[in-house]
Structures are given as C-alpha cells and as structure tokens.
Amino acid sequence: MRINLQKKRILAMAILLASCGLPSLAQELLRVNGVVVDKDANPMIGVTVRPEGTSTGTVTDLDGHFSIQVKRGAKLSFSYLGYRSAVATATSNMKVLMQEDSKVLDDVVVVGYGVQRKSSVTGAISQVKAEDMEHRTITDANQALQGKTSGVQVITTSAAPGSTPTVRIRGYSSNVSSSPLYVVDGVRTTNISGIDPNDIASMEILKDAASAAIYGAEAGNGVVLITTKKGTTGSGKISYDFQYASQSVNHVPKVLNAEEYINYMSEAGAFTKDYMLKNWDGVTDTDWAKEAFENGEMMKHNLAFQGGNKDGNYYLSLSYLNNDGIVKGDRDSYTRLTATINAEYRIKKWLKVGTTNQIEKYNTRAVSEGSEYGSVLTAVMTMDPLTPVYYSPDNLPDFLAQAQANGRTLLRDKNGDYYGVSRFSNGEQYNPLIMSQNNANKASGYNVNGSIYADFTPLNGLTLTSRFGYRLAGTRNRTVSLPFYGNATQNRDFVDMGSTSSTSIYYQWENFANYMRTFGGHTLTAMLGMSYQESSYDYVSGTLNANGEHSVSKNDPLFYYLHYKTASATQVVDGETTRGSKLSYFGRVGYNYRNRYYAQFSLRADAADLSKLPKNKRWGYFPAVSLGWTMSEENFFQPLRKVIDSAKLRASWGQNGSLSALGNYSYGTDMAQGGIYAFAPGLVYTKAVAPSTMGNDDLKWETSEQFDLGLDLYAFNSRLNFSVDYFNKNTKDLLIWNTTPSLEIGGATSPINAGKVRNRGFEFELGWRDHIHDFQYSVRGNLSTLSNKVTYIDPSITRLTGAKFHTYDITFFEQGYPVYYFRGYKFKGVDPQTGDPQFYDLDGDNQITENDLTNIGDGIPSITYGITLTAAYKGFDFTLFGTGAQGNDVFCCINRPDMLAWNKMKDYLYDDRWTPDHTNASVPRAGANNMDKYSVSDAMVKDGSYFKIKQIQLGYTLPKTLLNKTFISNLRIYASLDDFFTFTSYKGFDPEASTSATSGMGVDKGAYPTSKKVVVGATIEF
C-alpha cells in the first residue's frame, strides 16, 4: 500500500511538472506566416526560407506566401538566385522585400497550367520579355521571336501590311503544317496578330516535348505561351507610346534597262531591232521599281492605364495602328484598333477572381504578289523598260486608241493620264500600276479573345483554378474586279464581284488544381485537371459574274454590294457550318530535393470528336518525363562557386501530338454517283453509286517523340548566362494521301499514317550584363543548328509533290531528303559552240529526261542566329539587334521560260551570257534551247544566306530632376533605323522570300519584301 501510494505521488508530481512545462515549451515555438515580394511588390515564387544556421526550411508558394514554425526570436534567411539574401527576425506575420543582386534574374517562367522558377525548370523553355518588343516597329507578336531565342525560325512569306509570319519551333515536322500552338493567358488560339506587342509581358516558347506535353495532341510543333500585362501594386500609372516610321523598299533587283533589253531581245530573236526601234520613242527607259514603289508611312499609338493594391490590380490599354505600305497608292494598307482589359481581385484570402480580354478590329487591303501568272511585285521585275508609265490623253498611241474605240476600259491615274500598255508583251504580267488599280478588294474583321477565371485556395499550398476561355471572330471579304485593259490577253470589260462573311466561335472550360508541399529538404508539386473545347465555324458567300454587262447596277463604289446585282449576272451562293470538340485530362508531378535534384512527370489524354478521327482511335496519350541536377549545389563543386553561381544539367523525353493534317472526316468512305443503268423495262434508269475513297478506320494522330539534353550556367555573380541544348525529334504517323490502292479494289485511297520526319540539332544561348560606374551594357546571342530529313514514306509512293513553277513541280517530300527539297536538273555549263545550257546525264542514257532530276537544294537553313547589344549611360540608351540564317537556298522563279519578251534579272540572265564574242560564259545565250530545263535547274537555285540588322536605336530619357516639377514621371524619346541593312549574295527582293511556309519554303516568285524604316518615337508616363 505504501509503495502504491508513493507511486501515485510520483505520478502526480510528474503530471504537475509536465503541465507547468508545456506552456513554457509552447512559448518557445512560433508559427510564422508571411509573403515575399520584389521591388515592384510582385509575389516571388520559390524563395527558400530557412532558420539561420540550419539546412531545413520551406519555399514560397505560387503567391509568394510561406508558413514555417521556428523558435521565437529566431532569424530567418531568405535566398533566391539573382537576389541578395535577406535576414529578418521571425514574427507572426511577415512581409519580406527582396532586392536584386544583379541584372540577370532567375525569372519566373510560365509553363502549362502554372509557373516555375527558371532555375527549377527541367525542360527547354526560352523566354522573350517585354523589353525585347518595346520601341520596335513590329506589328505582329510573332515578329518578336525572330533572332531573340534559339530554336525558333520566323518565316516571312509576305511582309505586306497586315500579313502574318509563320513560326517554326525546332524544324519542320509535317508534310502539311508545322505551326505551333499559341496559348494567350491560358486560352488556345491560332492567330496572335490582333495583340499589340506593347501589351505583352512575356512570351515563353516550350521547345522540348516534356515542356509541351501537358498540351498533348496540339503540341507536336511546340507551344508559345503569351502572358499579357497586369497592373502592379502602387499608385496608378498612365503611359502613352507613340511611334512614326517612314518606310521604303530595301533592295531592288537589277533588271535590264532599255538598251540592254533591246540587245537581249534582238539576240534572242524575240523581236527584230527594227521593230523595237520603230515602236519605241527612243527616250523612255522606265524603272518600274521607282514607279511602283513610294515611301510609305506607319503610325502607332498606345495608351495604357494600370494600378493595383495588395488585393487586386488592373491593366487597360487602347492601341491604334495605321500602316500604309510601300506600293504606290493606298492598295496595300492595314489599320487596326485593339484594346486590352485585364483585372483581378482577391475577394477573400482564399478566393481570387480575374479576367483577361483582347479585342481587335482591323481593315486591310493587299496587292497581288508571289505569282508567275500575274502579280504586282513580279510585274515590277518583268515589265519591259520601253513602255512608258503613262500616256497623256492627247498622246495616246494608235493601238490604245483603237482598243478604247472597241470598248476597252483604259485606266487613268489621278491626273487623268492613261496608264501605259506594252507593245512587246501580251502575257500575264503587265503594268504594275494597272494591276494594283484594277480591283477594289477589301477585307475586315474582328477578334475577341479572353477568359474569366477563379483561384480558390482552401488549404495552404493547394490552389483550385476554374477558367472559362473564349474566342469570337468575324471576317468580311469583298472582291471587286474592275474593267481594265492591261494588254491583248489581260483585260476585262465588266465588273465582277464576290463577298464572303464568316463567324468563328470557340470556348474552352478548364478546371485544374495545383499543390505544393515542402517537408524537410523535399518539395513536391502536383497538378491535375481536365479541359473541354468546342468550336464552330460558319460562312456564307456570294459571287456575281458579268454576262454582257456589269454584274452590279453601276460601276461605282456605292454599288459594290450583292444587293445591287443585275438580272443578267450569274449568281453563285455557298455556305456551311462546321463544328468540332475535344475532351482532355492531364496531370503533372514534380519533385525537388534541396534545389539540387529535380524530376517531373506528366501525362495528357486527348479525345477528338468523330469529325477528326474514328471512334476506336480518337484517344491519344502523351507522356513525358524530365530530370534536372543542379551540380553546383554539390560539395565537390564548392571550389568553383566563386566563378560559377549555378550549373544545372537537364534531360527530357516526351511525346506530343498534332492536329494540323486532320481534315473533317478524312477517315470516312465517300460515295459518289457513277453511271446510269437500265435494270427494268422501259425508260427507267438507276443511278449507280460507288465508293470514291476506301476509308481508313485506323487513322490516328500524328505523334512527335523528342529527346533533349541541356546545360544551364550562371557565372560571375550571374552577369554571364549560358545554355546549350541538343535535341532529337522524330515525328511519326504523318498523314499521306494518294497511296496506290489495290488493283482488285480500285478507287482512291483515304489518307493513311505512313510518314516519318526527323529533326535534330544544337541550340546555344549566351548573355553578359555588367556596368562600369554609370555605363551599363549587355550582349545577348543565340545560335541554332538544324538537320531535317524525311526518314520514311509509304513504299507505294516515291515522293509527294509540293510547289510548282509554271508547269513544273519543283519541291518534293521524299524519303532521305529534307522536307520539300528542290528537285531539278544539274547544270553542267554552257556549250561554248552553241551557247545552249548543258546538264548532267545522271542515268547515263545519253538523254536529258525526267530521270535526270535530282536534289539541287532546299529552303531550310542549317543555322539561324541572332545578337542583341545594348548600352546605357546617364539617360542615353543604345540598341543594336541583328539576325541571320545560313545554309538555306532560294529557288528564283521570276522569269518564266515561255515568256521570252518579259524583262530579265540582269545578274542571273544577262551578265556573262554567251555571245559569239564571249563563248567562255556562265549564262546561256539569249533565246537558247532548253531554257525550260535551265529555269528548273540548280543554275536558278541561289544561296539565300543572310544577315539583317533589324534595329539600330538611340534613345534618351529626361532626368527626373527636370520632370519633378511636372506631372510627367518619365519621358523617353528615341530614333531608330529598322531593317535597314541586309548582307546577302541573293539578288532578288529579299532572301527570306517563300511562297508558303511548308511546301514553298525558299521559292521566290516576287514576294512583298521587308521595308527599311526610319523611326522616331516617344514614351511618356504619368
């Protein structure tokens, strides 16, 4: 009993001591909640928070918040690459401001359905910032990518006002289209031309499969993520940007002058010299480039309002662009009015809502280009110099007076003079001024892109997002063909017209969750979500074709509408509505151990509707994995840390899909009516129906599989940054048409998955930023290599045809060669006896036939590069930016071989030509035999390598001391030369010429060239 009593006393005493000690222990520990922000009060993701002197801690979440339990009075250390480490005493609620440690920051980059620190990214992601787009004359955000990042090529098929360039990421992966997916503020789109570059905060390019795989079936050609600007915390700010540019043609190809033209045509036997002298006034020597081009003007205005506080922010902007091109008159023009409306607000600590919106209204007019069958730009190079530009009414030649007497319409300029008509050429190319004035075509439209979203944070580290995205678009295109007389074969007597209106509606609803958890030195992130997309497109069109009189009541702009049709006009009406949808599920898991070891896994499942794929093949699954190792965090690396701040190895693998080649019901079996059969007595006939295509229930997605290996380095206190990537991308299951069907079945085949393409190469990016007292400077460069090859095509097909020149196929898709390479004859030289061109007989049959056609080049550059130099000193700033390509060829398709009387390019067909007195020539004689083969031989394939200085800009920012007495907080003025200098051996308008971005790469038929610009501008902030 006494022992038990003693035990009870001891137990009671222990309980009492414990109860007294617990409050004392509780007072030693403190739960700290806080947020980390930068100098602009923007939350910082991924900042490491540790009790000073320990190796364990946490990291800030997506909104910059952190929570940690420490001893009361402990010191907390905050570290983030590119910022000075901060130390602060722990309190229950903290707000920590991080200061930049260098000009190179470890930026937060946007990834699919989230953001990441650049230092923790394990894929190949490049970023183009707002500073790369500011104060440039670019009108389309795609143009901002050229030369600013590795692995990206921008193809300009036309530089006309309102035209849209094409982007290629890591090569050419398809026989149909290799365009990337664009995602603007989380909303998918195919066109970003309506977004003013001034309103863009950043563009991320997801280049490797692991980065893009979260977008699955649409990411096979890479992904471009665009984030538009948001308001910043602080007092409201008003900014106004103004820019004016005078633009002119950069380079004009040399063509024959009057004397050279007479010599060449008389040598060729096209005309006798007597005939030409008789029909020439002996004075006229028209330079058609000077007559067709003029100095154009471009003006841009952008007005923006922004502001915010700890609970919300807003950004509103309005932009206006007026671009009048370099062709004389107003027939090449583009006007655009855009607005951006972005706002978000934290209603509760656990709920944030927001919206993003881009609104565009545009009008455009364009001149014809890029055609051997009649276009303004080609006519400038092929119109003969003996024809005057104009005839005065009292000096009209007899043949034109006769044409007018016969009812032909001779067009006049604003002064009442008649446009000149050639006596020497009756082909499709005629006076380019007539060509630009013989129509009243117009196009207009609108685009509304936007989203409404909500972020719900029920638990610390967990964010649930619901986002509804939408796109509304409408277009109106009107074609009015006016009466004109260009020559005996190119003329029209009456007005024809047509009109098309279309509407596109797209919406997506996405719901996804992001979770971040830190424990010990481990950080785990996870994302899981779903997406539903639906789109519809409808159009209606009508055309009126004249029959003996105008198709409209009067040849007057007020009557250029379908409503004013005449009774005799042939009327055609068309229209259709199409619909498509897609359902997707996706997820991603990431792991980070002490910012040293990284791993990320993702999977997306996409299902297309039955308009694209058969039911048994509608689902596609796209996995990806990436790993990273920051070796600079290892102990063995510490001796190098005085020089190298960070060194990380990356590796990734993944699969992506592509929708680009899938048409509506391509897999289906089509039925067509055939002959008429009498299966019953009398005049009773039955129409037969037979399959016109055989169908393919095994049709599936195109799939790209890619491996990437990369290295990222920061050195010298992050003043130097360097990255290198190697990639190997294989695209399989390309859709191939026109395979040979079974002789037993007959008919035509439906498309099958029967093609493969390989792209591989290296990418390098190097940057240096530093300052010497008040002088700041930076150098950034990038370089990419590319090897492209078709590795498989269905054995029943030797090759697929692409672009044509006149009646000749010149580009082909064939196994063992680059995508759409040039195929033609190999030029052996000029026969010194006859002056005729000679070609290599590759099959040895002593004849030059189609069997002697071979690979003669391709339009895909093997190297692309860009460099940007900046400097600033006491208010002055300077920028020099250039970009180039190496290894690409240009197929010069200006001079048709069947049009001998057209003018010629002097460098390629006149200089060093064969004559009886010059037999050791490199160019055939005028009017030589086999010029049809010569025009599609490697003699007309030229080196298209180039280097362009895209911008030379000098700016000055007024001192704050001068502005303090005004309501202006910042004022910068600048002057710039844009696209002013091009270094190339190609003699055409532009070495970047292409008739299309896929099958017509490098084919030059007279594309609208990039103009050089003299620019002045100003930026004012209030």
Q: How far apart are CA 908 and CA 259, in angstroms?
A: 17
Q: How far apart are CA 534 and CA 509, in angstroms?
A: 9
Instruction: Return the pLDDT at 119.
Output: 72
Q: Where are the domains of the chain?
A: 29-100, 104-232, 798-1021
* DSSP per residue, 108-165: EEEETTEEEEGGG--S-EEEEEGGGTTT----SGGGGGTTTSTTEEEE-S--STT---
CA distances from 819 to 793, 799, 853 (A): 12, 11, 17
Q: How far apart are CA 879 and CA 250, in angstroms?
A: 21
Instruction: Return the pLDDT at 742.
Output: 57
The reply to whether domains 29-100 and 104-232 share a CATH topology is no
Nearest to 923 by CA among 810, 830, 789: 830
Q: How far apart are CA 574 and CA 543, in angstroms?
A: 9
Residue 70 CB-half CA count within 13 A: 26
Q: What is the pLDDT confidence band of residue 659, given thresholds at 50, 70 and 90?
A: confident
- In this structure, CATH architecture of domain 104-232: Beta Complex (2.170)
Which residues have C-beta within 8 Å of that of residue 382, sequence separation ≥ 6? 255, 425, 429, 894, 895, 899, 902, 903
Check: CB of residue 74 under 8 Å from CB of residue 49.
Answer: no
Pairing status of strand 889-892 against strand 1003-1004: parallel
* DSSP per residue, 135-149: T----SGGGGGTTTS
Q: Is the pLDDT of residue 27 over 50?
A: no
Instruction: Return the pLDDT at 55.
Output: 57
**Length in residues, the chain:** 1022
Q: Is the pLDDT of residue 634 over 80?
A: yes
Q: Is the pLDDT of residue 105 over 50?
A: no
Which residues have C-beta within 8 Å of that of residue 329, sequence separation ≥ 6? 436, 437
- The alpha carbon dihedral of 23, 24, 29, 32 has a sign of positive
Average pLDDT over residues 19-27: 40
Pairing status of strand 29-37 against strand 93-97: parallel
Average pLDDT over residues 805-828: 96
Average pLDDT over residues 29-51: 84
Instruction: Return the pLDDT at 396.
Output: 94
Give pLDDT tens digits for 339-352.
Answer: 999 999 999 999 99
Instruction: Return the pLDDT at 745.
Output: 56
Instruction: Report DSSP state, residue 2.
Output: H
Q: How far apart are CA 502 and CA 629, in angstroms?
A: 51
Q: What is the pLDDT confidence band of residue 611, given thresholds at 50, 70 and 90?
A: confident
Q: Is the pLDDT of residue 1005 over 80?
A: yes
Which residues have C-beta within 8 Å of that of residue 804, sequence separation ≥ 6? 810
Instruction: Return the pLDDT at 674.
Output: 76
Check: CB of residue 613 under 8 Å from CB of residue 699.
Answer: yes
Q: Is the pLDDT of residue 271 over 70?
A: yes
Least confident of 67-71, 467-471, 552-556: 67-71
Instruction: Judge residue 462's burial from the number of C-beta atoms within 10 Å of its C-beta, 0-12 exposed, 13-18 middle, 19 or more buried.
Output: middle
Residue the block writes with tokens 């794929």: 613
Residue 6 CB-half CA count within 13 A: 3
Average pLDDT, the chain: 90
Check: CB of residue 616 under 8 Å from CB of residue 699.
Answer: no
CA distances from 509 to 216, 343, 531 (A): 16, 19, 6
**483 by DSSP, 3-state: which?**
coil
Instruction: Report DSSP state, residue 633.
Output: G
Check: CB of residue 306 under 8 Å from CB of residue 229.
Answer: yes
Q: Is the pLDDT of residue 8 over 80?
A: no
Q: Comparing 190 with 383, which gets the higher pLDDT?
A: 383
- The alpha carbon dihedral of 393, 380, 982, 197 has a sign of positive
- In this structure, CATH architecture of domain 29-100: Sandwich (2.60)
Q: How far apart are CA 511 and CA 468, in angstroms?
A: 9
Nearest to 246 by CA among 1014, 950, 979: 1014
Instruction: Return the pLDDT at 48.
Output: 81
Which residues have C-beta within 8 Å of that of residue 62, sequence separation ≥ 6? 45, 114, 115, 463, 514, 516
- Is the pTM for the entire model greater than 0.85? yes
Check: CB of residue 314 under 8 Å from CB of residue 342.
Answer: yes
Instruction: Return the pLDDT at 101.
Output: 60
Q: Comparing 786 with 700, which gets the higher pLDDT?
A: 786
CA distances from 324 to 190, 329, 368, 415, 429 (A): 26, 9, 16, 21, 24
- Ranked by mean pLDDT, the top range of 22-31, 289-298, 956-965 is 289-298
- Widest pairwise Cα distance in the chain: 145
Check: CB of residue 292 under 8 Å from CB of residue 249.
Answer: no
Q: What is the pLDDT confidence band of residue 564, given thresholds at 50, 70 and 90?
A: very high
Give pLDDT tens digits for 207-251.
Answer: 999 999 999 999 999 999 999 999 988 778 999 999 999 999 999
In the chain, % of residues over pLDDT 90: 73
Nearest to 50 by CA among 80, 28, 75: 75
**14 by DSSP, 3-state: which?**
helix
Instruction: Return the pLDDT at 733.
Output: 92
Q: Is the pLDDT of residue 728 over 90?
A: yes
Give pLDDT tens digits for 50-91.
Answer: 887 665 678 788 788 888 888 888 889 887 766 777 888 888
Q: Is the pLDDT of residue 306 over 60?
A: yes
Q: How far apart are CA 734 and CA 700, in angstroms?
A: 9
Q: How far apart are CA 389 and CA 46, in angstroms?
A: 67
Q: Comparing 978 with 40, which gets the higher pLDDT?
A: 978
Q: Is the pLDDT of residue 25 over 80?
A: no
Residue 288 in tokens: 């058609």
Please state the φ and ψ torsions of residue 949, each to the nearest 5 degrees: -85, 105
Check: CB of residue 725 under 8 Å from CB of residue 648.
Answer: no
Instruction: Return the pLDDT at 984.
Output: 97
Nearest to 605 by CA among 628, 577, 590, 624: 624
